[in-house]
């Protein structure tokens, strides 16, 4: 009987602490959805249907306790802030526009393997010898400019969502989704950093 009377209190404490933890927890699923929306716009129509990513958020498979936490959470913070990633800010739109424009120029280099996707959510020159001499400087420039914009985009998304500290998590999410959304044949860096063709 004693154990029974303690456990609700324990549960309440647990819930409270869980609540605090989850409040700052990076919304992985929402971030992935936001990344996909941006990436699909940047890639345009050429990409194939993305592979579903493995569920990475605790919030997606809710046991009873999590449902409770979810309810408390919703009561504490408006759902829009906890579950959604805003990607409508003019800065994000402007960066996405710049990247979409640049993608037209980069796409042939992704396809030829001259440029590949790095594991940190950027791109890199993989094989400069696959590029005509005339275009080599331009490829290097495109890669540098794209990486500048990508870093700005990750920071911008974090900032627009009032969580500048999320920038790294957003970068990681994007790093995965750039690859998952890319058509077969493009090159990417695997976890150990070596180049793999998709």
Tokens of 89: 């800010």
Span near another protein by CB under 8 A; candidates 14-22, 26-34, 55-63, 128-136: 128-136
User: How many residues touch another protein (CB under 8 A)?
Assistant: 27
What mask, x for binding another protein by CB under 8 A, covers residues 132 to 161? -xx-xx--xx--xx--xx--x---x-----
C-alpha 161, offset from chain centre: 14
Q: Which one of 8, 52, 90, 193 is in contact with another protein (CB under 8 A)?
A: 90
Burial of 68 per CB tally in 10 Å (0-12, 13-18, 19+): middle
Main-chain phi, psi angles of 188, to 5 degrees: -145, 160
Contact criterion met (CB below 8 Å) for 42 and 100 = yes
120 three-class SS: coil
Closest distance of CB 60 from another protein, Å: 25
Closest distance of CB 141 from another protein, Å: 4
Q: Which residues bind another protein (CB under 8 A)?
A: 86, 88-91, 93-95, 98, 125, 127-131, 133-134, 136-137, 140-141, 144-145, 148-149, 152, 156
């Amino acid at each position: 009987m004693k154990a029974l009377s303690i456990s609700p209190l324990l549960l309440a404490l647990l819930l409270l602490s869980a609540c605090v933890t989850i409040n700052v927890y990076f919304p992985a699923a929402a971030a992935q959805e936001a990344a996909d929306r941006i990436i699909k716009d940047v890639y345009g129509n050429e990409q194939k249907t993305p592979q579903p990513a493995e569920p990475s958020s605790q919030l997606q498979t809710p046991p009873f306790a999590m449902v409770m936490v979810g309810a408390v959470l919703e009561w504490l913070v408006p759902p829009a802030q906890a579950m959604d990633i805003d990607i409508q800010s003019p800065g994000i739109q402007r960066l996405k526009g710049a990247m979409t424009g640049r993608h037209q120029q980069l796409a042939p280099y992704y396809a030829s393997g001259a440029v590949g996707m790095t594991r940190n959510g950027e791109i890199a020159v993989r094989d400069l010898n696959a590029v005509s001499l005339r275009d080599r400087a331009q490829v290097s420039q495109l890669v540098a400019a794209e990486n500048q914009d990508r870093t700005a985009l990750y920071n911008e998304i974090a900032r627009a969502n009032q969580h500048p500290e999320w920038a790294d998590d957003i970068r990681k999410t994007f790093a995965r989704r750039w690859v998952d959304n890319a058509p077969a044949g493009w090159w990417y860096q695997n976890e150990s950093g070596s180049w793999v063709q998709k």
